[in-house]
Structure 1
């Protein structure tokens, strides 16, 4: 295992060494400054010895009694701490020490002359003594200058040493930290740009950045492998999504073909041909129960390959079988299952639609038969009875029989005209029922067919949904409206008829036929007229409430109220 040397620890050591060197220099400078301070004092004290020696000569001549006192003062100056300490300093030159010892020895002689008040000897030796003091002062000055020069040299050397050490630390930091970090930054930018084969890093260093470079290189290599693997998976998923999207598009187009068009052999053949080309099938076939004569298959069936089968079932009812042999690439099984379900539901709805159309046809026929029975059949029965009576009367030759025959013929003609009018009304109503389910338009067609029979102004306003009534209910409703409108045209003597279809405050549907005429005198229908009774009978079949009343402002109102359960 490789030993790791910490670059940060090395930099810290270098900085600590610089700080230590700077501390030593500062300490040495402080020591030199302190010694220079004592040197100045020593120079001053030694310089004062010359003046004091001359002063003693003067006092010996003028004031001999003060000599002793001044000798003690001189001794004190000669042995001052600054002069004594300088002798014990480590770097004090021998010349300074010898010069000081010479002064001490010579002063011992001079002190003896002074105590003896030997002015002549004192005076003769004074010049030599002062010369020795001058030499001592000179030695002190030179020593002080030497220390200053030494201090200056030390400072200059120390500054150069610190500058050199700092330069080395900077160079070391640039080499060991800045350069590897720049390479790592460049490599990371390349990795960010998906260039995993980045510039080579210094992985041989045994420090933290070397470890980081090795880890980064290993990580980028793993990221490159992972990215390549993910890219392959993304491409694979993209291909699958494209295939799925293609399958969904094919299913959507197939669904559109099955729902928009009526299902037949041509539509199913086009659908299977498109599925075979889209899913790369070798063979596909559709068998529809009840339509086995349809030949819907494409491709060549391979005997060596298994045929896959999917039953077309809805609500446990089998409607057909879908068979196919896969090609390359193989189709998604869910695609074929969805196709089978789509075909099954399309066939089921087609079958249900055909049954519904048949039921609607039977219902329309039943409505027509009932209406014919309730109208034309009764008229024809009446005509048959009248015809029988006419035959009996024609066998008689009296005048009364002839008059009755003419009356029967008149009734016959009136009944025939009434039957023909009813037939036209029924035909118009049945055309509306089959062709138009919109209530507003159906009411307008009914009223338009009656406009030629009156000069009254008639309006229609329907606020009900278009598909409010089924065909059977619509026939009854239109017949009630027609009968009520005809009654208003024949008997109201008014100027205006309004037909409204709306929702009342209880949420029920109601149809109103109103006129501004004289108003209905009574609800009792005259003999030979059956319009009100027929309207009431139709209302009962609708499970609706029929109300006929006089309006307070004049005229008649016929209201049909339909319960909500009707719809």
Structure 2
């Protein structure tokens, strides 16, 4: 028996060799870079010594305290950590000797300074600076040497990795890739229906196991292939059945949505279901909100099971209990389908049929509600048109009252007549003014989906007309409000602001629009006027009635409250937009 090794172990060993070489190269580079840290700082420090040497010359004849500070700074640089690294064990002797030479010469230069021998300091300065230059040169040579050593090490490491990688590639191609390619040929042969295959021999356990698995799979597929034709026929029958069911559901869906949904169309759909599934009896029971029930049956009617149970002739039909399939949409139950059949029922078909009927009924109810809403909107438009005609009539009456006063004989105008004329004129004027406010509210439109901008445009007009400071704090996101809600909010805000301007005598009006923690939208119109008392005599004012009506359309409420520091706050509270349940 051939002894086989592990493919994963072989690959692991190759990877470990590469990892060892790369790790050694990295460690070598890190060590080299560690010894190179501070080279630039040392070169900069040594270069700084030259500049400080010349600077000391300038301070020789100046303040002694300042001179001592410069000497201390020079010695701090000379004995800094960056330069003292020149004395470490790995530093070249030339660099160490040059550094010590700089220190010795500095001692001489310092003695010249302490003895106040400026001439000697100046004469020795060039030689001292040349010594420092040689120190800088030695440092640069040492840094360049370390860099060359690093480059040589990198080249050697990369060369070794290249050799190992080339050997590993050749080894894996011969011992691993070729057997895998042969296994791929075996797999292609199996995919083309050739199950009589020979697997390649290999020295690795994993590839041998894979080849044996291919061989076993081919054998099992050869066995299964013999039964494949029968399975295909069974699947074809099942798919044909499923296709027929889908066609049945689609035809009934088209039939239910082609015309208005009534009991006749529902009965036709039940009859179609009965014929398709060869049922004995089927009916639809619709449950209404008032607990009333409507039963819709197929063309052959429905068996009275209660009556059959009490007769002597107990048929087989009476022994079969009806099966119910609920018409359920989320938490709302619309009724159920009841079926009696001697044959086993296709539960999935009946569940899908019940779901289709449920959605058709819901869509029908939603359509009916839409039509009702459209009718209500049309009536609202007609009401506005009537208001326009009433406006013309009130204008005409006002003119007629003025003409009547001019045409009456002054001798006939008594105090009582004068009072009545004044009351009529004031009544017509008041009604006309209220109607104009109402019509101006009706004529408000929103051409931009940005409600905040629309309110600001409306308020800018009121600021010009009244001269009152009106501030808007709008903090509502666009998705919180539906388009139908915009016009109601805008009109209600305008009405409340106009009421405050006309009747509260304010100097400032604040309008806040925000979403509260209770997930309710708040529109607050606050003024610093005379308070809510002025509204008591205007409870029947048509504008306030309109405000309550618009709040109701928003499914919210509006209220009027006194402010603690004076003035009135009109608060509109309503929920954010929600898709209506009736569609």
Using structure 2 for the length normalisation, give the TM-score.
0.35
**Structure with bigger gyration radius:** 1
Using structure 1 for the length normalisation, give the TM-score.
0.36
